[in-house]
Structures are given as C-alpha cells and as structure tokens.
Structure 1
C-alpha cells in the first residue's frame, strides 16, 4: 500500500475512533490537567530585537527532541519586507504558545493532547491516533503530524529538561539571548519582570487563547497574518529523483 493511501486509511480510522470516543468521553475529562507543579506557570519571552536568525534554536530543538526531517517544533521565520521604498528582513521566532485556553485540547478525541498543571501543553503519543484535529485547531501553525510516529507533535518547552531543572534547548543555545524562560507565578523570575516592565505582545491576540509565549519588540504587523515574503532560510525537503 502506498504512503498516500496508507495515510488516508489511517486518517479515516482515526476519524472513526474519534467520533466514538467523543460520544463517551466527558468534556471535563478531556481537558483535565495532568502532571506538573500547579504552583508554577511556565512561559517564554522572546525579544525579537535580539534575534539574529541564526537558527541555533531550531537545530538544538531538532537534536534534543529527535524531530524528523522537514518538521520543526520551533523555527525562526525570516521575512523580506518592503516599507517606504526600503527593503529589509524581519525575524520571527515561532513555537507552540502553550496557551492558557488552548484550542487544541477540546478537539482531541482521545485526550492525548492535554495541559499539565504548570501550563505546558503536551501530547501523549501512546494515545494519539493521528487524526490531526489539533493540527487544524492550532491558530499558530505550531503542530504537525510526526512522519515517524504518525502522531501529533509540537514544542513541549522541552518538558523532560524542565522536570530535570534545566532550560529548554532553544533557550540554552540562543546566541543572542533572545529567548527567556521561567515561572510567571514567581514575581522575581526574569519572565515576570519582563512582562511587568516591557509590555510584551502576543501573536493573534484576537483569538483569545491567552498565549504564554510573549514577544518584546514585536511589530504589530507581525502579530497576525504576516505581510511579507518568506526568504533567506526556508527549509524544504529536496525533491526525490525518480
């Protein structure tokens, strides 16, 4: 069976499983928070003024989380923009926003996508059926179907590192110090101070998802649909030769 047909069959089967599960799973059970420390609320602040577009964060994430080829949990989107006759580039680091009101959670028919008590949104790939409902529900294009596992995948703030007392791989390797990670519930944490002192912005605020990834120096034109041309480094799988 070829790949396209196999994927179609998997999707059809997942849809059937999803419909049956939705009929029996209580809504509160699908959204119950599991694991993590309820006293914490992890968040990230990205200072786009410091991002140089080196993609060290992207590479570190791929290596740390064994992300399959041509898929990304985080990436720096680079755009060519023209304004008042002048052309320049704009860097926009992107990842899962770990929203307080995450739209990917209620659409998951098996409860595979859920939110921990510390706010981190994760996917249990032993339960996920690869239906991609969550991929479609995410307004930030931050999810994908892992071609190796055939399940949903995304940034988890490197939850395995967080639980071990370490920083996410992307934060640790950011050469410009553009990414800051910490506990919003701690008033003395760097992310709390930056949120108080810099009035950071979020992507697509009109969605009402309450993202927990904040941006310093974000041009309002880049909060929603980006009016620019992707350029410089735009990863794509090379065409296979027949």
Structure 2
C-alpha cells in the first residue's frame, strides 16, 4: 500500500467509507495482511530530498494529539549548512520518537510505564507514569517531555490510535511533499521496505546502538547527531508573536 498522502487517499478510495476504519495494516501488502504468521513492525522512512519545511506535520500532530503549548511530539528543525566552497544551504530535519528496538527509555522507568507494543511502538501507560522524567533524560533523541497539563511523560506514538484502525499517522497523511513514509518493515513488499532496499539510508545517533525504526534518505552526516534544539515551528502563545528558530552549524 502506498504510504504517502496521495497514495493513501487513492487506496482508501477503493473501499467504502464505512469500511475505511477496518482496513487491516495501513502499510502492509495484501500478502502480509493475509499471512496468519506475519508480525507487523511499524517504521518510518523520511526522504529529506522532499521535505520543504512547511511544518504541516508539526501542526497536524499538535491538533491530532492535543499537544500542549510549548511542546512537540514531532517537529522539523531547520539548519543552515555551510561547507567549504559551497553556498550556505537551508536543510530540514524532521524529528520524532524513533521507536527503537532497544529503547534506553524503557529500562530506566521505575514503574514500567514505558513499554514496547506488539507492533514495535514505544508507548507510555499514563495510568502508571509518575512523571519522574528519567525517560526524558535517557532518550538520546530529545523526543520525550513531561506534559505540563497531565504531569506524565509524553511523546510520539506513531499515532497508535490511528494505525490500530488502519489509518496512517497524522504527520504522514498531511505531508504535502510525501517526505514521510510509514509502513511495515517486516513486509518485503511494503513501500518502506522497498525504499530501504533502493536507497542509502541513515539514522540519528547511530553510535547509541538503539536500533531505531525511523530512517532518513539524504541525511548529511553532519546532521546525524543534531537532535537537540528548538523546533522551527512554535505555536503562537497568548499575547505573543509566533517565533521562527533556526540553528547554525
């Protein structure tokens, strides 16, 4: 199944509206979806050649997940890249929880609120979380925060509430350039698996050996460690102007 917005909407158009929510495996091929022994493992491939920094993903995530002011589950950092003999270039780096196979946030949780879901997502059980922020400190991707409204750990969930009913994550569905692609990494026929086979891909903080499930196409090596800093998009605060932030390299 296609995993960019246009492909997804086209595929959804081939089923009735009433059945749309029951489409099994939004990022699976028909073969994987009908294999009783198949185990889905969600992942994302971000094609930086297509990201234009429009921040539609950031806004969609905030609206979909009711993210509080001054916090982000996903955002796009904007950097000025300067190399010898070349003109300065603006580069984009979409960032989110990497849903690692070996997540360092999991073993530090004293109440086992952070856990791995069946399809590979790293999630937080809010009913158990005590807001100690150990997981926030342990995350090498700066992808967690303590929600100041709920007082518990918060983060990207790959839109678990959407994928569990056959829908794409909100950030993927709203990506106007088709830079974000989501699907089943265990399905060799999925679009994300094809992209991984046919392109040179990179991950953030490879030295951490977390086995992340978010991959990047076109990531300059100078950016693979750039995981801290403010987002380029910041929701307007009451009585204050919206600010745009960048970070030079």
Q: TM-score normalized by structure 1? A: 0.79
- Structure 1 residue 76 displacement after superposition: 0.5
Question: What residue in structure 2 maps to residue 49 of structure 1?
Answer: 49
Given that residues 202 and 223 in structure 1 are in contact (C-alpha distance below 8 angstroms), is that contact kept between their aligned partners in structure 2?
yes
Matched residues in 2 for 1:236 and 1:64: separation? Answer: 14
Given that residues 68 and 147 in structure 1 are in contact (C-alpha distance below 8 angstroms), is that contact kept between their aligned partners in structure 2?
yes
The 3-state SS of whatever aligns with 1:147 is coil
The 3-state SS of whatever aligns with 2:166 is coil
Matches within 5 A, 1:1-242: 39-84=39-84, 86-225=87-226, 233-235=232-234
The 3-state SS of whatever aligns with 1:63 is helix
Given that residues 38 and 118 in structure 1 are in contact (C-alpha distance below 8 angstroms), is that contact kept between their aligned partners in structure 2?
no
Q: Structure 1's 213 and 149: CA in aligned 2 closer, same or farther, altered over 3 A?
A: same
Any gaps of 5 or more consecutive residues in structure 1?
Answer: 1-36
Given that residues 73 and 97 in structure 2 are in contact (C-alpha distance below 8 angstroms), is that contact kept between their aligned partners in structure 1?
yes
Given that residues 38 and 117 in structure 1 are in contact (C-alpha distance below 8 angstroms), is that contact kept between their aligned partners in structure 2?
no
Matched residues in 2 for 1:166 and 1:102: separation? Answer: 25
Q: List structure 1 segments (4+ residues) > 6 angstroms apart after TM superposition.
A: none
Q: Structure 1's 82 and 167: CA in aligned 2 closer, same or farther, altered over 3 A?
A: same
- Structure 1 residue 238 displacement after superposition: 5.3
Q: TM-score normalized by structure 2? A: 0.77
Structure number having the greater helix percentage? 1
Q: Structure 1's 38 and 122: CA in aligned 2 closer, same or farther, altered over 3 A?
A: farther
- Structure 1 residue 132 displacement after superposition: 0.2
Matched residues in 2 for 1:110 and 1:52: separation? Answer: 40
Q: Structure 1's 170 and 236: CA in aligned 2 closer, same or farther, altered over 3 A?
A: closer
Matched residues in 2 for 1:96 and 1:185: separation? Answer: 19
Any gaps of 5 or more consecutive residues in structure 2?
Answer: 1-36, 241-249
- Structure 1 residue 80 displacement after superposition: 1.7
Given that residues 96 and 154 in structure 1 are in contact (C-alpha distance below 8 angstroms), is that contact kept between their aligned partners in structure 2?
yes
The 3-state SS of whatever aligns with 1:148 is coil
Matched residues in 1 for 2:69 and 2:225: separation? Answer: 27
Given that residues 141 and 227 in structure 2 are in contact (C-alpha distance below 8 angstroms), is that contact kept between their aligned partners in structure 1?
no
- Structure 1 residue 200 displacement after superposition: 1.0
Count of residue pairs the alignment pairs up: 203
Given that residues 105 and 113 in structure 1 are in contact (C-alpha distance below 8 angstroms), is that contact kept between their aligned partners in structure 2?
yes
